[in-house]
Structures are given as C-alpha cells and as structure tokens.
Structure 1
C-alpha cells in the first residue's frame, strides 16, 4: 500500500510538471535552434542587403456628383450620404480599358532595368537617347535585350535568341540592324556616369502589361460616408509609380469627361443629321406651297377670296344688266313689229345702245314728219311717199339694229354666265383651298418650329460640350514615401527570429508527432499511468564496457543499475514469516529491447551490495546471456534441467564474474523444440522454490510476451515483473499490450524500465533533474 501511494504521488508530481518537461524536451535540441537562428539572421541580413527597395505611392481623388446642386435636398443629403456608388467607380478605375490606356499613354509595355552585381533594379527611363521602332501593338511575345556600355561602343544581346550586336561610336544609327529600337549617348548625361554599366530593355505585349498593372494598382474608399478614393501602387521606381498614378487619374477623368461629352456630342450629331432632313422637308413644303398657289392661281387666300366675291358680284350685276338689255331689246323688237307704221316707238326705255336710241329718235321724227305731210299734202304726195319710204327704211334699220344688238347681248350674256359660273366656282373652292393651304402652312410651321428648337438645342449642346465639368477632383497628386515599405528591417529580423524558433520547433513537433517509438517515461505514463517506471537506463551503445562487472564501479552504467536495484525493492511485496528469495522476471514485448542486458546488470547491481543473486536464462528460444558473458551457448543450462529429471540444476551454475562472488548464472542451455511444454512440466517451479532458499534474489530473463506465451505460462512464480521498453525502438502501441497484461493479472506486480534512453532524456528516478554522467569515475 505504501509503495502504491508513493507511486501515485510520483505520478501526480509528474503531471504537475508536464509543461516543464515538454519545454525541456525541446530544449534538449537547443543546438538546432541556435543554428537555425544564426542561419535565419544571416539570411535576413543578406535579404536586407540585396533585396530591392519597394516604395508605396498613393494619391487621392474625389468623385464629383454630376447631379450635385441640381436636385432638392433628399434623405441622402440629410443623412450625409452620397449618391455616388464608389464600388462602381473603383471597378471602372481598375478596369482593363483604363489600364490599357495608361499603358499606351506611358508606353509601359517597354520597361528598363539597370543590372547590378547582385540585383537588377527597374528604372524610369534609360540614361540614353532611346527611340522605339516597334509599334506597341506589334509586340506579341516578350522580348529582352541587354545593353552593355563599353568604352568604344555598345554591345547589345538578344536575351531570347542569344544573338549579339556590336555598335561603334555609341550609336545604333550608323549601322543597319533589325533591333526594335535605336539608342545613342545622351548629351545631358556624362559618359563617365554610365560607363561599363549594363541595362536591360524589355518589351511586353499590351495585354499582359495592362493586366499586370491592373493587379498592382489598389483603390479603396476613404471612410464609409466619404466620396474620396485612395489610389496606391508599389514599385521600385518612385518616379515611374508617380507617373502611373497621375496618368491613371488623368485617363479616368478624361474618360468621365468623354462620357459626359458624349451625350452633348451625340446631341449635336443628331441635330446636324436632322437639320439635313428638316431643310429638305422645308424646301419640299415651300415648293408644294408654290405649286399649290400656281395651280390654283392664288396669291393670298383672303385677298383672293375678297376679290372673287367682288368679281362674282360684278359678274352677277353685269349678267343682270345684260338680261335687262336683252329683255328691253326684245320688247322694243316686239313693239316695232306689232305696231302700225304710224305708231311711234318708245324712246329712252333703258336700252344702252346709242345707235338704236338715235334710230328710234330719227324714226319717231320721220313718223311725225310723215304724218304731218299726209295730213297736209295727201297720201299720194311724192313728199309723203318719200317720207313713208324714209320711215320704212328707218324701221328696217332699227329692226336690224335690234337683232344685231340682241345677238350681241345674248353672246355677252352667255359669256357673262360662263364667267359668273367661273367666279361662283372659284368662290366655292375657297374653303377647300383654304383648308389645304392651311394644312401646308401648318406643316411648314411645324417644321420651322422644330428647326428652331433643334437650332436652340444645338447651341445648348455646344455650350455644354464646351463647358463639360470634370468627373473627379484631384485631392492629392501622386506622392511617394520617403522610406521603402519593403523590406522593413524590424519585421524581417523579427520574422527571422520567429522563423529561427518556429522552424526547428515545427520540425521537432512533426518528428515527435510522427514518431511512433517510445522516447521517454512520459510516453509510458500517457498510456498506462498505473504502472510505475522504476528505472531509465541510458544508452551506452558506443561504449565497450556495458557490463557492471566491478562492484565498486562508479560509471554511469553502475549508477543507473544501482538506482534500478534500489527501486526494485520498492515494488517487491513485503515478506511475512520466513525470509525467502525474491523472484524478479525481466521481460519485454519483442526481442531487441534489452531485457537480457537489463537482467544481467540488475543481477550484478544486486550482487554488488553483497546480496546472493541467481540469474536464470529462461528465454529458451533466443538465449543471449552467453553472448554478454562470452560463454559457450552449448553449456548445460535450464533446458537441460527441465528436460532431464535426473539433472541437478546446481551443476549448471557458472561464475561469470570474479569480482561478484555472490553472483551465479544458469544459462538457457540447448534450444529445445518445445520450450512451453518444458516450462510447464513442474520442474521450473521446483527450481524457483529451491533457489528461494539459497538466494536473496532470483532474476529470470524470460521470453518476450508478444512473440510467445512462455513468460505468461510461468508468470505466477514471480514476485515482481520488470517490463523492459527500449527508447526509440519500442512502438508505443506495444505498451497497450503490457497494460492489458497488468489489468488482467496475467503478469504480477509489473514495473517499467526504459532502456537506451539518451543521456539528455535520462532522469534520476523520482527526482526530476538530469544526471550529468560525464566520464567514468
């Protein structure tokens, strides 16, 4: 019970120092950390020494709202929100179309570099007069040329085809070549500043350059309620970066202005096109109006209507007059033909023919004169006859005159009627003509008003085109930082320090995690905390003297097994009654874990303190004790005793060590064909019982438990079982088997001993501090 309490206490102490042990576990590899730190710091120094200096260039712009100042205050105005979608503007700024314009504007697909001893640095322009011969759109694949400035001229190499060109007098103009550029010395730069320098000229396609620039330029909004954007770019050349950002802002502004101008320009173009059609339509309408007037004999509708009515009235009046004259003529003719010769004709009845009126007057005078002569001279008077002849002639003349006048009147009447009908028809056509003419005038007015409106709109569009507002306001032009943003010494050195610690830590962590082998006592405790660890045997595989053959030896081997022998007593059960020897089994999971080595040295450690110790080689399948003590394996031993009932086990005892007089050994003997049957035939139990009376400790080197059942068959005879596990050899999963053996009681009073522990992993049992084994002595 006391031992068990001590064991539990020990495990609690171990649990409380897990963190400390884990740290110590890594600190054992401190040279790795030191070497990695040195390498990382040297790498950081070399990186800082030769890494290109990267500068950040930024600018700020404000996106102008086109509708600003034209709208009434809205909720956006009240809550200080902008109507501009900055995400859309950011996408436009970083669009391929804008980037391509910037590339073309600055000819960025042609880049220049200065080659140094360690690194090559990009520069803004060549310190030479440079003329590009190849068109940007003609570059379909990358081209690179190296220009070496020598004392007597240029040496140019095509880095793609490795073709070389030599030019004297520092000019490419004096020789025919197929290079895509011409260069010569600049008058503004002294030759001494560029002598023996090497420059690289690269030509890249427009598309790849624009896409590369698109990836480099960063645009972000400044604040949540702001309409400001920050443009930034990182590069080696501050001058080039500033040019790029300034050009980008200009191109973006021009693009916005062009979009705004586009409306005005399209308006002007549309109006100009409409002017052509409107002019043609107005000409057609005016021609139609002219034709209409000519066709209808119209000067002015109102005047022509008034004149038509007046002419119609005059025509009707004339017609009435003619009809009246015709009636009077007919009445006069009727009166002339029906009256007797003595009747006078009516005079001045309204006939407008003066000839007829004169004849009537003359006729009436002739009739009166005749009548006077007839009354005074008689009817047969020649004068009367002459007067009657005169009357008859006048009557005949009047009759002919009336007929002629009547014919004239009838002709005039017909003409008057025709003219009257014409005037009446013209007057009746006036409403229709007026309607048609008004329709023509209406079309003319519509086209004229549209023409005037378009003329006004063209002037307005021309004014808007001339005074188009910019789309952005440049708050800050491109500015570059004084100090490079990369590399940063503090961050690089901090990263080197961190990497110097994390890299070996990570490697060790992976090693520990992937390592399925047993490494230390902690691995056993994690699997089976109820089984104590009573000893850790350091790894002495490089030493020749690995056997505790000198009782007074102070070597690390001797000390480690002295500790083990001392701890073995704590796991042995207390003795009641007559004192007999203790039986301690030494076993393991598989062969090669060092159970024979431990059992031999444990027996020697117990013998060194004047205890009587018997070491029995019970591993009948693979005996190894004879190898450690340099004995012939064919000597009689345990197998001979078990097989031969007449064989006395005492005759098999050998003295392996002169300085250990109380130490005896029974070898395994010849390898039998049936070890399990021999161990269970009762003779081994008899041997143990007899040895208990003669020895203080019986150490039994048994067979591995995983491979064979030999040990389990005789496990009931043991007072304690030392289960050997070898560091960096035993699989951790095998420990579960020993745990099951302990829990099932198939092995009695188990305690672990870890063999082959590295000196840096070894501990004094239950003390928690390292022994420094050093040299023997």
Structure 2
C-alpha cells in the first residue's frame, strides 16, 4: 500500500502543475493582447529613441626612467621605509584623466555648453558640426543663466536669416533679438557672436531653423564625466582605453581627442616647470659670478699696473709646471664646493614646495638622483592638489615623502661639502710643499698667482653655468608628450543602445508577464469562489451536480422551449445529474420535492429554481414551483403577476383557504404551475412550524411529479432549516465571484449537523473561462463559432 502511495505522488504533482497552467491558459486572449501592446510600444520606442554609439580611443602613459638611488636612499629602501614612493602611478593618471578640472577644460575648449538642434524635425536631433551657424559666448553670466535654465528660458530659435542679419527668438518668452553675423549681440545672460559655418553643406530641404540651448558649464561637465569610461587593458601595462556612449559620434570623438590633448598639455607644463625653475636659478648665479669675475679681473689689472709687471710667470715656469696638477684639482674642488654651498643656502632659505635646480654638474650621482626624485614628488603633489585639497590622504603622504627626501638632499650636500673641504685641505697641504720650493719667487709673484687662481675659478664656473643654461634651454624646447596616442577616437558602426532584439525580447516577456501577474494577484487576493475546482478544494463531501454559465445583461436569463443555448444545456445536465441523486424514484408513489437554497441573498436561487422547473416541464412532467422565501419573494422576476396573488403565507395562516385555489398556471409553459409566496407575514418562522406545512407538501407531492421550492437564504434566517425535512434533494446554490470560499464550510456544517440533508452544490454565474472544467472540454451546443475579437470582448466582459 505504501509503495502504491509512493508511486502516485509524482502523478499528483504533475496534475497540480497542469491545473496551475490551465488557470492561465484559459485567459490566453489577454496574453495575446498584452504581447501585442508591449511589442507595439517597443516598436514605437525604437522609432522615437535616438540611437547611441560607442566611441573608443587608447593611449599609453610613458613611464619615467628610474635613476639609480643614492647610497643613503638605497639604505632606506632596503629597510622598507620608502615603499610606494613611485611618482608615475597609473591609478593616479586615470584619476587625473577623469578629474572635473580636466573635463571642464574640454567643455570650454569645445563649447559643449551650447547645443544646436534642428527645430523643424519631428524628432529633434543634435546638429553639432552640421549646424549652419555657430555661437561664440563672450561674457557669460552663469548666475543669470541658471535662473533662465530653471524657467526654461535658455532655449532660442535662430530664424529669419538674410544677408542683413538674423533673429534670435526666445522659445519660452517669445522675446526677439535682432543681430548680424560676426557682430556682438547682447542677450539676457551673455554677449554672443553668431558666425556662419563655412563647412556646412545645405541639404535638399534647405537650411533648417536652428535651435540653440545654452547650459551652465557645471552640469555639462558632470554629464560627460559620468559618460566617460576609463579602463586599464591589463594590470601590468600602462595602456588606457577611453570610451564614451553618445548620440552624436563626432561629439564623442572630439571629447576624447580633446581630453588626451588637455592631459598632454598639462603634463608638458609640469615638466617644463622644473626646467624654467632651473633656468631662473642659473641666470641668477650667472649674474653673481659675472660680477665676481669682473672684480677679480679688475684687481689683477690694477696689481699689474701698480707693480709694473709684464710676464712674471716666465720666472717660475718650472715651479708652475710642477704645481699645475694640484692647481687643476684645486679648481675643480673649489667649483664643487661653491655649488655645494650655493645649494645648501638654497635648500635652507627656499620653500619646501619649490623645485630644486637639476643638472648643475654636481659630480656626486647620488645627490643628483635625490634632486630628481624630490622634483618628481613635488610635481606629482602639485598635480593632485589642482583637483583636491591639502587633506587628501595622497597629498599628505606625498608631503611626508617630500620632507623626508628634502632632508636627505640637505644632509647629502652637507656631507659632500665636508668631504670637499677635507680634499681641499689635503691639496693645500700638498701645495704648501710646492710653495716652499718656490719661496725664492718674489712676494709679488705669489700675490699675483693668488689673484690669477681666483680668476680661473670664477671663469670656469661662469663657463660651466653657460653650458648648463644651453642644455636646459634645449630640454625645454624638446619636451615630449606624456601620453602616446595608440588609436585616435573612433565610433562603432552599429548603435549600442537601444538594442532592437533586447527591447523586443523584453517587450515579449513583459507582455506575457503583466497578464500573468495580474491573474496571479487576482487569484491570490480573491476570496470568492470562481470555479468548481475552488469548491472541491474547500469541501469534498458535498457533490457538485451542475454549473450554470454567466448570462450577459442583454441576454435572456430564462430558457425557452427547444432552447439550444449554453444555459439550457447546463440545466439539462443538472436534470440528468439529479436523476442519479433521487433515491427510490421508481418506487415512490408521490412526486419528488427539490429544495433550492443558498447561503446569502443574491446567489441566484430563484434563477436556478425557475429554469430547473422549466427544464423538467419540457420533459412532459407536471412541475410546480413554490415561492418559499416568505420574507423576500423573487418569483415576480419571471412571473410578473406572482406578487399580486395569495400564496403560501396566506395558506398557512388561513385555514379556510384551499391549496388548489392558490395555484396558478405559468405563462411560460403548460406543464408548469406556480404557487406564489403570498403576502409577506410578520412571523414566517412561526408559520413554517405549523403542522399544516407537512400537509401542504404531502398534498402537492400527490398532485405533481416535481415540486421545486425556492427557499430563503440559510445563513440569514432559519426558515429553510425548519422545512428541509420535507425535501428529497437540497440544491445549495453558490454564485461564482460572489460567494466567499469560507461560506462553503457553512453548507458542510449544516449537512453534518443534520440541518440539511441530501445536499448538492449548484455553481451559478460561472464565467466562460471557468465553465466546464476551465472551458477545456466545454462547448456551446449548436452555437455559432465566435471570432477572435468576439472572444476577446467576451473575455473583457467576464474579467
């Protein structure tokens, strides 16, 4: 047994899945309509949306050649104290390329805050380079422009163009400004000049009316910064790909190319800044050395004139030849010492943010490397400060590194000066030995040699600085750009958005999803009975013997003779099912009494009662319909005069009345009679409790084959419970879309408690989509086949 249950579970799950799908498949016209509407909207969107294209450019950031660090800096690096001090970080360069300052330069250079568009076109498209006229802004007032933009008064129409001039019309206020090409024109927020585009080629339609839109620079910069895409192609390379999506290919190309140009221009200015500072330093030193050299030469000339000397050197030629090597070395050391003293003074007196002179001829390579590293860090810090503040963590870190390296450079020069002084003392000691050998030379010669030595030192330093100035000027003239262009900006041929396939696929999915969600939510939030499946899920102990389809307002809700409508077929099925429920029908001498009741008012008891009576009458059976709802009679809906006659209430209250005198012949069928409700009594329940009630039903059963009793709602009053013992069958009417599911439990409880017996459900007012097991097997016998539009209208009506 357990094995059998186990095997049946997959089948049950499959049936449940099928039932869930059928809940939606029966509403297929809504899915078709949803798809058609969404696809139509998608086509309209693709029609009116301006396509956007992807533009790409690529550059390589050149790496600075790293110099060999000084011994002191190498020692710090070995200890790990100078990590992350590189000055050419790719991340920093990407940050500079995407900075607001850089994009501001691009927007100003290309005048992107002015938009040109064709005002005559149905879909307004930007002209950009294809505009027949361009505008140059001379004196913009950003504050006033913001006010005009907020009011929508920043758009103008350039029209009525002639040889004499043009008219500029404010599209919001209608104000007209007349001007001439090439001449300044004052508008509320700027002075502008309108010029003709010499490259414009007129179209067949002629020159269009050009619309102009002025915008503040700030929002335009933010707009294109958001559009800008910067990607590092590989983490180990310095190749950067710049991208941008825009509706105008030429504009995106110009923006990317101009951005690269602005980046290179700024990088060149940074590099030239070091060279200019070095040039200023050399010029300053040349001026000082020139004055000192003039003073020494003047002193030499005065000494010779005072002592009447001509060629003193000839007398000490041999001694000078021996001392020439020492003098040469002494001159070199004196030059280096002078440079070291000068740099020490410069370091101590200059600002910590100043660049240090480079390539002055210092022989100590470690000192030169430290100077270059210091200058690179200062330039990096200044570039970042241009778009940031002193509190930026990167700036703080660079300041710390700059201070550290500046101190190292100062200590290196002090050590160099100390070493040079030691070397100078050693040379002086050795020179004293030579001087002792030429002691015979007159004192005038020794004095003259000292003057000449000073002259040679100053002269060599002067020539050295002249050489360095020329080298620095050459480097200033041939500075190369930092970003090498690999590919100039180019745009894709096919648009990147909107993508028709994706839009149409999304429309298709949305067209299916919206009806699905609506149906799902409707079923989820609904608490009323919709179909027989809903009833079977709530209560299974009461069978469902009939489903009555919904009747439109303009349709007849009463079946006719030889009626072949869906309504008539539904009652014939109900009649057939009743034959299986009537027990011992053949053995019973009297007629069958069928009670028709419901939970609350308005569920269709009278409609079911009357049509069931007509269906039975069509089988040549004698049928009587009784209006047993004494509180709220409804038979007059089908028999107009039913309320005018005496009936059940009068018979139960008056013992003098005969039952046969109260029965009326129905106007709708010869086999159908009517026993109206009669006058509305004050105490219906008391009347039903009389013994005369049972006598009435017995007498009627002897007269008719079927007695259909239209009773009162069971939940509202107790009348039906009082007389239900006289019923052979109780038909409990449930109205689809009206009766709450929880009320079905009331019928089950009434049956279990014995208040109602032989109860069967009749589902009334079933929508066509839910009729006949979800309309899967149902059909209209003899009914003309409806078109798709007719079915769609019916679906909408039943929705």
Q: Which residue pairs with 1:165 in the alignment?
A: 177
Q: Which residue pairs with 1:319 in the alignment?
A: none
Cα shift at 1:489 = 3.2
Question: Partners of 1:736 and 1:511 in 2: how far apart?
Answer: 22
Specify whether residues 561 and 105 from structure 1 end up closer, same or farther in structure 2 by C-alpha distance, changes over 3 A only: same
Cα shift at 1:515 = 5.1
Q: Structure 2: which 5+ residue stretches go unaligned?
A: 1-11, 79-85, 296-335, 348-355, 362-367, 373-471, 786-799
Cα pair 2:732 2:762 within 8 Å, conserved: yes
Q: Which residue pairs with 1:594 in the alignment?
A: 604
Cα shift at 1:581 = 3.9
Q: Which residue pairs with 1:117 in the alignment?
A: 121
For the residue of structure 1 that corresponds to 2:772, the secondary structure is coil
Q: Which residue pairs with 1:57 in the alignment?
A: 55
Q: Which residue pairs with 1:105 in the alignment?
A: 109
Cα shift at 1:713 = 3.5
Show the 5 A alignment for 1:135-214: 135=139, 138=142, 140-141=145-146, 142=149, 143-148=154-159, 150=161, 154-166=166-178, 171=181, 173=183, 180-189=191-200, 195-214=206-225
For the residue of structure 2 that corresponds to 1:762, the secondary structure is helix
Cα pair 1:762 1:770 within 8 Å, conserved: no
Question: Partners of 1:584 and 1:675 in 2: how far apart?
Answer: 20
Q: Which residue pairs with 2:498 in the alignment?
A: 487
Q: Which residue pairs with 1:607 in the alignment?
A: 617
Show the 5 A alignment for 1:206-245: 206-222=217-233, 228-245=239-256
Specify whether residues 121 and 131 from structure 1 end up closer, same or farther in structure 2 by C-alpha distance, changes over 3 A only: closer
Specify whether residues 722 and 632 from structure 1 end up closer, same or farther in structure 2 by C-alpha distance, changes over 3 A only: closer
Cα pair 1:535 1:765 within 8 Å, conserved: no
Does 1:447 pair with 2:451? Answer: no
Cα pair 2:227 2:245 within 8 Å, conserved: yes
Q: Deviations over 1:527-571 (max 9, x none)?
A: 435443322222334456433453x43343322211111122334
Cα shift at 1:673 = 0.9
Q: Which residue pairs with 1:768 in the alignment?
A: 777
Normalized against structure 2, the TM-score is what?
A: 0.63
Specify whether residues 94 and 664 from structure 1 end up closer, same or farther in structure 2 by C-alpha distance, changes over 3 A only: same
Specify whether residues 518 and 266 from structure 1 end up closer, same or farther in structure 2 by C-alpha distance, changes over 3 A only: farther
Q: Deviations over 1:199-252 (max 9, x none)?
A: 122221111111111122223444666654432211121111001112223334
Question: Partners of 2:774 and 2:624 in 1: how far apart?
Answer: 25
For the residue of structure 2 that corresponds to 1:491, the secondary structure is helix
Does 1:585 pair with 2:585? Answer: no
Q: Which residue pairs with 1:422 in the alignment?
A: none
Question: Partners of 1:16 and 1:573 in 2: how far apart?
Answer: 38
Specify whether residues 50 and 574 from structure 1 end up closer, same or farther in structure 2 by C-alpha distance, changes over 3 A only: same
Cα shift at 1:667 = 1.6
Q: Which residue pairs with 2:23 in the alignment?
A: 22
Cα shift at 1:451 = 6.4
Question: Partners of 2:64 and 2:540 in 1: how far apart?
Answer: 79
Q: Which residue pairs with 2:572 in the alignment?
A: 562
Q: Deviations over 1:39-98 (max 9, x none)?
A: 544444444444323211122344555577979999xxxxxxx99876665544333222
Q: Deviations over 1:311-364 (max 9, x none)?
A: xxxxxxxxxxxxxxxxxxxxxxxxxxxxxxxxxxxxxxxxxxxxxxxxxxxxxx
Cα shift at 1:595 = 0.6
Question: Partners of 1:766 and 1:452 in 2: how far apart?
Answer: 99
Q: 1:667 aligns with which of 670, 676, 680?
A: 676
For the residue of structure 2 that corresponds to 1:707, the secondary structure is coil
Aligned residues: 595
Q: Which residue pairs with 1:308 in the alignment?
A: none
Cα shift at 1:685 = 3.6
Q: Structure 1: which 5+ residue stretches go unaligned?
A: 1-10, 75-81, 287-441
Question: Partners of 1:165 and 1:577 in 2: how far apart?
Answer: 107
Cα pair 2:112 2:220 within 8 Å, conserved: yes
For the residue of structure 1 that corresponds to 2:569, the secondary structure is helix
Q: Which residue pairs with 1:710 in the alignment?
A: 719
Specify whether residues 197 and 707 from structure 1 end up closer, same or farther in structure 2 by C-alpha distance, changes over 3 A only: same
Cα shift at 1:583 = 3.2
Cα pair 1:549 1:660 within 8 Å, conserved: no
Cα shift at 1:738 = 3.7
Does 1:134 pair with 2:143? Answer: no
For the residue of structure 2 that corresponds to 1:706, the secondary structure is coil
Specify whether residues 704 and 182 from structure 1 end up closer, same or farther in structure 2 by C-alpha distance, changes over 3 A only: same
Q: Which has the larger radius of gyration?
A: 1
Deviates more, 1:767-776 or 1:52-61: 767-776
Cα pair 2:544 2:760 within 8 Å, conserved: yes
Cα shift at 1:444 = 8.5
Please provide the CA RMSD for this pair.
4.6
Cα pair 1:764 1:770 within 8 Å, conserved: no
Q: Which residue pairs with 2:637 in the alignment?
A: 627
Specify whether residues 94 and 587 from structure 1 end up closer, same or farther in structure 2 by C-alpha distance, changes over 3 A only: farther
Question: Partners of 1:215 and 1:192 in 2: how far apart?
Answer: 34
Q: Which residue pairs with 1:375 in the alignment?
A: none
Cα pair 2:724 2:755 within 8 Å, conserved: yes
Cα pair 1:92 1:98 within 8 Å, conserved: yes
For the residue of structure 2 that corresponds to 1:125, the secondary structure is helix
Q: Deviations over 1:447-488 (max 9, x none)?
A: 357369976556766698778775544443211011222333
Deviates more, 1:193-202 or 1:242-251: 193-202
Specify whether residues 12 and 105 from structure 1 end up closer, same or farther in structure 2 by C-alpha distance, changes over 3 A only: closer
Deviates more, 1:62-71 or 1:240-249: 62-71
Cα shift at 1:622 = 0.5
Q: 2:647 aligns with which of 614, 621, 637?
A: 637
Does 1:94 pair with 2:91? Answer: no
Question: Partners of 1:126 and 1:545 in 2: how far apart?
Answer: 70
Specify whether residues 20 and 479 from structure 1 end up closer, same or farther in structure 2 by C-alpha distance, changes over 3 A only: same
Cα pair 2:54 2:243 within 8 Å, conserved: yes
Question: Partners of 2:13 and 2:623 in 1: how far apart?
Answer: 34
Question: Partners of 2:202 and 2:182 in 1: how far apart?
Answer: 16
Cα shift at 1:774 = 2.6
Question: Partners of 1:525 and 1:543 in 2: how far apart?
Answer: 32
For the residue of structure 2 that corresponds to 1:215, the secondary structure is helix
Question: Partners of 1:707 and 1:92 in 2: how far apart?
Answer: 81
Q: Deviations over 1:361-408 (max 9, x none)?
A: xxxxxxxxxxxxxxxxxxxxxxxxxxxxxxxxxxxxxxxxxxxxxxxx
Cα pair 1:563 1:765 within 8 Å, conserved: no
